Chains A and B, each alone.
Chain A
Amino acid sequence: MNAELGEFGAQSALRAFGPNAEAALLLTVVMSVAGIVILAIVMGLVWLAVRRTGRPRSWWIWAGGIVWPLATILVLFVFSTITLRAIARTDDTAFVIEVTGHQYWWDVVYDPDGRAIRDANEIWVPVGEPVTFRLVTDDVIHSFWVPSLAGKMDMIPGRTNAFTMVASEPGRYRGQCAEFCGLSHPQMAFEVVAVPPDRFAAFLDELQGEARDAARPELLAGKQVFLEAGCAACHQIRGVAEGAMVGPDLTRVGGRAALGAGMWRMNKGNLAGWIADVGDMKPGAQMPNYNHLSGPDLRALAAYLESLT
């Protein structure tokens, strides 16, 4: 893990950890340098034109206004198209992860055409292996973007978009919805966790199973609250209450590093606050505030959810 990245993983196109982002970064650097040089030359010419007086010739315009930009954009176009061909390939053999955008969270299904393992808001990928993201939306347009790994792609109603990418180093990479999607658009983030392939396989196996048992009385009480307060109408905890697909899958909610779609650190206090006041923490979210729960119930529920790792 990249410890220096702080509480959240890297979210910067300038810190590339995969071939897609690296190719874009190379383009960025080359174009920025070229841009600065061109700007300097043009400003130099302006300075010369101010200082000196002479008779302009029309070849100046031909050379500076037509040939120079044409040559520059031809080089850029070739460079950019080669890069595009390299990164735009969708790999049919790659492992598929389907991500569905919701206002304002991410539904994740690993291997949707096979094992179809459901999770939310945190996406694990194997390091060094291509992964194809299949992107759809359940409501409005969202855009799936993890700057340190690859460029963004939109999720559009009625369409399925896909792209393939590789994470080249283990680590946590933060992503965020890049298309304005409504009230809480700024609070629609997620993290990609890149782990070695064997760890990834183990993670999938673990994830596919049922939720961890409530081992202590407090946790049992929390589980009871979950069932009685109506949480199961929207949320699924495999092995406890199955079938509800409206909200994020909570089977391993406590195992995620962040709460509220990549926004807050996952712990009991934040969980309790979230359940009671979701409307304040994330205005416009579908989930109602559960501030009528008693203190002990709330704490028990939070503790139970945190234990689901």
Chain B
Amino acid sequence: MSATAEHQTYTGALKGEPNKSFEEIWAQPRGIRSLTSVSHRVVGKRFIVTGFIFFLIAGLLALGVRTQLIVPGNTFLDLQTYNQFFTMHGTLMMFLFAIPILEGFGVYFLPLMLGARDLIFPRLGAFGYFCYLFGGIIVLSSFLFDAAPESGWFMYTPLTTKEYTPGLSADFWLIGITFAEIASVTAAVELIAAILCARAPGMSLTKMPIFGWYILITAFMIAIGFPPLIIGSVLLESQRLLGLPFFDAAFGGDPLLWQHLFWIFGHPEVYIIFLPAAGFVSTMLPTFVGKPIFGYGFLVAAIVTMGFISFGLWAHHMYATGISPVSLSLFSAASTMVAIPTGIQIFCFIATLAQGRPRFTTPMLFVFGFLFIFVLGGLTGVMLASVPFNFQVHDTYFVVAHLHYVLIGGMVFPLFGAFYYWVPHFTGRMMSETLGKWVFWLMFIGFNTTFFLMHVTGLRGMPRRVATYPEDIGWDRLNMLSSIGSYILAAGIALFVIDFFRHLRSGEPAGRNPWGAGTMEWFYPTVAPGYNFRAIPPVRSREPLWDQPELNEDPAAVGGVLRAYPDHRRETVGCDPLSGEPLHIARLPHPTWVPLFTAFAIAVMFGSLLVSAYWVTAGAFVAMMAGFTAWAWEPSDSGVTRDAGLGYRLPVDKADRRSHTYIAVIGTLLILGALYFSLVFGVLYLWNTFPDFAARIARPDPLMAGGAIAAAVLMAVGAMAAKWLSMRDRFLTAALTGVVTAALGAATAGLLYLAIADIDRNATALGATAWAIVAYVGVLMFIAIWWALFNALRKLTGRTRPGQHVADFNFSPFAKGVALFAATTGALLLAAQGALP
């Protein structure tokens, strides 16, 4: 086929910008249109800046808390305001600062380090950011309505039910945080796919910078760890809105179910926060020691181990709830095990230090601060794993001390080091080393003054979350010193902010690779151009800038793949996940309003839910679906091959199990599966805990449940058949098969509904949970049906041309996954039918 003839039939050419040069194609939109930007460089920066603003707000709330506690019986804040302050402090820090800002660093630096021009799903990144921003605004706006959440960041039931927390404060929390969590899980899928599927030619997993491993494992943990809380929040919000008794003991619900769901999320969350920051440390240490990180293999093993262990010790937050001694011992043992992967990492850092003479720069000071504070916090963590000790100090200031040691030591100190280290990348200028040392020492001294004493305060019997305390029971002086320490800590952070604004104007220009680092993000002089790499160079080392001298020449002239841009599109190279060999050319979207529009529609949807304006909710839902459809409706890029340079001739957007789209579908199924199993956990937990209530619910209809299983199997077969037909370009039959698949999906959902129609969802928690599972499967079926009809419609309208199979190729595993969840539900109902008395 000649080039011109191909241009007439190739739908991907419709999206090219033939008049534009390479630089123009990658240019950032300006002004109001900058909201359409999808570049990881813009989105990452937005995550970091927004996260830092939430950090400052949460920090001010903490100062309010410390000021209230400076003397016994203080009346600086009334009880309600104090409760709001500590609730919002925890909530903002955990959900709207720590995770998003770390994801922001991942979003910004991973493509640069891995040799990609952008994250692999740029629109998803932009969408995730707006979800996070709107979710954060919803949570924060509660202050304006005098309805700030006041039940603690842990939101324990039944305190958070309608009965004990009337009004909207809990709804603000549940809806806003769930919304922000959508951002976190979308970013997780995006980071997984980007790390596995878009690296420079030759960068095998073993040559990947260690930061990539840290973020990869973190992203998997987010994908599995966040769903339990999302499910918990949805259940609690539906208890508040609809009266379904999930956590109500009078109806066979259990307040402890909330605690389990919360901490199955909440404990991994701690490691989700720690791991990326440890990734910063592992990136900065080699630079300042001048030698590669020692024990790369050990580190990878430790990170993976930590990821696994972190899901097995949630109950150490629940020792005092009356768990049996045997379970206590098991969870205690699992909790102490974390010392091993942590120990490995610390010793790898020490060994790395031993390889050379470190330069005592500001980032390095923060690394030393991290080592001291985090090791201390880790040791008190091991202490807390001991059950009898935990009985005493649980929910006291000892725990407050411990958690700030691990979170501030393990995350905030590396983060500030990372700010100093990478700030030239954002601004092209260096921050002051002199002021940086002041910032470090103020923060270090202030931190330890504030929090070290809290170990003693806690042992002396002071519980957490108390707005006042009586005089003369041994807490007065300790609290005063802690409060003074917090002001010193705050002064350090204020000095950092001042220096940041100072350096914007008068900081020293940074030039190229100012710290002499070995990783690829320093390939260009700062500030690097928005496309990251003019051509993507092959990488043969973990520290390419140290080991590949050709990379230190003129960056625009360094040889690599994708120098040519025949279709005038943004693109990067997609690789084999293991070997890093180029697999295909991944076409990337250009700036678009769709992510903002869709995120805004969801914000309206959630916001109207808050104020019970359900017609607006319905309208916003339609707008959201329109947004997602417009997102996906664009012409396909696949179906052609292009010369990528360096002897590679690569297909564009290949339909392949190793491609980023397929991996992303699998990642999404992982999240959907984690959501599903959180619900199944709820059912099995309630059934096991309160068997009496199980006897009260109606039996599910076995015929309908069996029918649902059959329909689900047929639906999976239909999706596979549609893929098979589509791959052979038999579009008409493929489209018809797609319609049948959609119908089978609807039948599956309908039969499941009929199977449980007799169960009263208001009478027992178990019955309500059965409804929740079927409702969830219904939502998944709705998505599958939408996708199947979408694929069919594109074929019938000629949007899909011969050779373009990606959508069908990726729908098949999704449909199979959803069918599996539906069939499992049917099987559970059949089993329940047999087991019920």
- A residues sitting closer than 8 Å to B (CB atoms) are 6-8, 11-14, 20-21, 23-24, 27-28, 31-32, 35, 38-39, 42-43, 45-46, 48-50, 52-56, 58, 60-61, 64-66, 68-70, 72-73, 76-77, 79-81, 83-85, 87-88, 103, 139-141, 143, 145, 147-148, 150-154, 156-159, 161, 174, 176-187, 263, 283-284
Q: Are B461 and A35 in contact (CB under 8 A)?
A: no
Q: Are A81 and B329 in contact (CB under 8 A)?
A: yes
B119-127, B221-229, B248-256, B558-566 - the one binding chain A: B248-256
Does residue B322 face the partner (Cβ distance < 8 Å to A)? yes
Chain B 457-472 interface 0/1 with A at a Cβ cutoff of 8 Å (1 = within): 0011101111111101
Which residue of chain B is the closest to A70 with respect to CB atoms?
A: B340
A60 CB contacts on chain B under 8 angstroms:
347, 350-351
Q: Are A28 and B340 in contact (CB under 8 A)?
A: no
Could you tell me the distance between the alpha carbons of A252 and B751 in the complex, rounded to whole angstroms? 63
Could you tell me the distance between the alpha carbons of A53 and B291 in the complex, rounded to whole angstroms? 11
B107-115, B376-384, B579-587, B594-602 - the one binding chain A: B376-384
6 further interface pairs, Cβ-Cβ under 8 Å (given A80-B332, A88-B325): A7-B470, A148-B461, A151-B390, A180-B152, A180-B159, A180-B464
Q: Are B473 and A174 in contact (CB under 8 A)?
A: yes
- How many Å from the CB of B413 to the closest CB on chain A? 14
The answer, among A45, A46, A77, A141, for a CB contact under 8 Å with B159, is A141
Q: Are B465 and A185 in contact (CB under 8 A)?
A: yes
Which residue of chain A is the closest to B342 with respect to CB atoms?
A: A69
Q: Are A183 and B79 in contact (CB under 8 A)?
A: yes
Chain B 145-159 interface 0/1 with A at a Cβ cutoff of 8 Å (1 = within): 000001110001011
Could you tell me the distance between the alpha carbons of A178 and B340 in the complex, rounded to whole angstroms? 31
Does residue B371 face the partner (Cβ distance < 8 Å to A)? yes
A77 CB contacts on chain B under 8 angstroms:
332-333, 336, 386
Q: Are B321 and A156 in contact (CB under 8 A)?
A: yes
Q: Are A12 and B340 in contact (CB under 8 A)?
A: no
Which residue of chain B is the closest to A16 with respect to CB atoms?
A: B392
Q: Are B158 and A140 in contact (CB under 8 A)?
A: yes
- How many Å from the CB of B602 to the closest CB on chain A? 31
Could you tell me the distance between the alpha carbons of A185 and B347 in the complex, rounded to whole angstroms? 43
A55 CB contacts on chain B under 8 angstroms:
355
B394 CB contacts on chain A under 8 angstroms:
151-152, 178
- How many Å from the CB of B245 to the closest CB on chain A? 11
Could you tell me the distance between the alpha carbons of A156 and B320 in the complex, rounded to whole angstroms? 10
Query: From residue 279 to 308 of chain B, which have CB atoms closer than 8 A to chain A?
Result: 294-295, 298, 302
Does residue B14 face the partner (Cβ distance < 8 Å to A)? no
Which residue of chain B is the closest to A258 with respect to CB atoms?
A: B470
Q: Are A61 and B344 in contact (CB under 8 A)?
A: yes
- How many Å from the CB of B586 to the closest CB on chain A? 37
Known A-B contacts A38-B379, A53-B354, A65-B347; A12 and B388 likewise in contact (beta carbons under 8 Å): no
A selection of 30 A-B contacts at a CB cut-off of 8 Å is A7-B470, A12-B460, A12-B461, A27-B388, A28-B459, A31-B389, A39-B379, A43-B375, A53-B357, A61-B295, A64-B347, A65-B343, A73-B336, A76-B336, A76-B386, A77-B333, A80-B385, A81-B329, A83-B388, A88-B328, A153-B320, A153-B391, A154-B320, A176-B461, A176-B466, A178-B395, A179-B156, A180-B83, A263-B470, A283-B79
The answer, among A43, A61, A79, A83, for a CB contact under 8 Å with B372, is A43
Q: Are B465 and A180 in contact (CB under 8 A)?
A: yes
Q: Are A66 and B344 in contact (CB under 8 A)?
A: yes
- How many Å from the CB of B74 to the closest CB on chain A? 11
Q: Are B388 and A72 in contact (CB under 8 A)?
A: no
A48 CB contacts on chain B under 8 angstroms:
354
Q: Are B343 and A68 in contact (CB under 8 A)?
A: yes
Which residue of chain B is the closest to A155 with respect to CB atoms?
A: B322
A64 CB contacts on chain B under 8 angstroms:
343, 346-347, 350
B371 CB contacts on chain A under 8 angstroms:
42-43, 46
Q: Are A31 and B465 in contact (CB under 8 A)?
A: no
A76 CB contacts on chain B under 8 angstroms:
336, 382, 385-386
The answer, among A13, A43, A50, A186, for a CB contact under 8 Å with B467, is A186
Does residue B453 face the partner (Cβ distance < 8 Å to A)? no
Could you tell me the distance between the alpha carbons of A76 and B350 in the complex, rounded to whole angstroms? 25
A186 CB contacts on chain B under 8 angstroms:
79, 465-469
The answer, among B298, B376, B387, B463, for a CB contact under 8 Å with A176, is B463
Q: Are B386 and A80 in contact (CB under 8 A)?
A: yes
Known A-B contacts A46-B371, A56-B355, A65-B347; A182 and B388 likewise in contact (beta carbons under 8 Å): no
Query: From residue 392 to 424 of chain B, which have CB atoms closer than 8 A to chain A?
Result: 392-396
User: Which A-B residue pairs are the 6 nearest by beta carbons?
Assistant: A151-B391, A158-B249, A186-B466, A65-B344, A56-B351, A161-B322
* Most chain B beta carbons < 10 A, residue from A56, A66, A81: A56
- How many Å from the CB of B214 to the closest CB on chain A? 17
Which residue of chain A is the closest to B355 with respect to CB atoms?
A: A56
Known A-B contacts A140-B158, A158-B255, A185-B466; A56 and B294 likewise in contact (beta carbons under 8 Å): yes
The answer, among B386, B463, B465, B473, for a CB contact under 8 Å with A27, is B386
Known A-B contacts A6-B473, A12-B474, A35-B380; A153 and B463 likewise in contact (beta carbons under 8 Å): no
Q: Are A181 and B159 in contact (CB under 8 A)?
A: yes
Known A-B contacts A49-B351, A73-B339; A147 and B152 likewise in contact (beta carbons under 8 Å): no
Could you tell me the distance between the alpha carbons of A35 and B402 in the complex, rounded to whole angstroms? 13
Could you tell me the distance between the alpha carbons of A140 and B321 in the complex, rounded to whole angstroms? 13
A178 CB contacts on chain B under 8 angstroms:
320, 394-396, 463
- How many Å from the CB of A155 to the closest CB on chain B? 9
A139 CB contacts on chain B under 8 angstroms:
158, 164
Known A-B contacts A24-B388, A61-B295, A84-B387; A49 and B350 likewise in contact (beta carbons under 8 Å): yes
Which residue of chain A is the closest to B341 with respect to CB atoms?
A: A65
Which residue of chain B is the closest to A184 with respect to CB atoms?
A: B79
Known A-B contacts A73-B337, A176-B463; A28 and B389 likewise in contact (beta carbons under 8 Å): yes
Q: Are A158 and B391 in contact (CB under 8 A)?
A: no
Known A-B contacts A61-B347, A76-B382; A23 and B388 likewise in contact (beta carbons under 8 Å): yes
Q: Are B354 and A54 in contact (CB under 8 A)?
A: yes
Does residue B167 face the partner (Cβ distance < 8 Å to A)? no
Known A-B contacts A178-B463, A185-B466; A27 and B347 likewise in contact (beta carbons under 8 Å): no
Does residue B352 face the partner (Cβ distance < 8 Å to A)? yes
Does residue B358 face the partner (Cβ distance < 8 Å to A)? yes
B184 CB contacts on chain A under 8 angstroms:
none
Known A-B contacts A6-B472, A183-B80; A12 and B354 likewise in contact (beta carbons under 8 Å): no
Known A-B contacts A12-B461, A182-B159; A35 and B379 likewise in contact (beta carbons under 8 Å): yes
The answer, among B298, B328, B467, for a CB contact under 8 Å with A65, is B298
Does residue B345 face the partner (Cβ distance < 8 Å to A)? yes
The answer, among A38, A143, A151, for a CB contact under 8 Å with B388, is A151
Which residue of chain A is the closest to B472 with respect to CB atoms?
A: A6
Query: From residue 557 to 611 of chain B, which have CB atoms closer than 8 A to chain A?
Result: none
A141 CB contacts on chain B under 8 angstroms:
156, 158-159, 255
- How many Å from the CB of B351 to the closest CB on chain A? 4
Q: Are A140 and B391 in contact (CB under 8 A)?
A: no
- How many Å from the CB of A150 to the closest CB on chain B? 7
Which residue of chain A is the closest to B368 with respect to CB atoms?
A: A46
- How many Å from the CB of A174 to the closest CB on chain B? 7
* Most chain A beta carbons < 10 A, residue from B389, B460, B690: B389
A24 CB contacts on chain B under 8 angstroms:
388-389, 391-392
Query: From residue 228 to 275 of chain B, which have CB atoms closer than 8 A to chain A?
Result: 249-250, 253-256
- How many Å from the CB of B508 to the closest CB on chain A? 27
Could you tell me the distance between the alpha carbons of A272 and B350 in the complex, rounded to whole angstroms? 65
Could you tell me the distance between the alpha carbons of A176 and B389 in the complex, rounded to whole angstroms? 18
Which residue of chain B is the closest to A21 with respect to CB atoms?
A: B392
* Most chain B beta carbons < 10 A, residue from A11, A48, A80, A150: A80
Q: Are B465 and A140 in contact (CB under 8 A)?
A: no
The answer, among B255, B383, B461, for a CB contact under 8 Å with A13, is B461
- How many Å from the CB of A262 to the closest CB on chain B? 9
- How many Å from the CB of B689 to the closest CB on chain A? 9
The answer, among A12, A154, A177, for a CB contact under 8 Å with B459, is A12
Q: Are B389 and A152 in contact (CB under 8 A)?
A: no
* Most chain B beta carbons < 10 A, residue from A55, A186, A187: A186
Could you tell me the distance between the alpha carbons of A73 and B386 in the complex, rounded to whole angstroms? 10
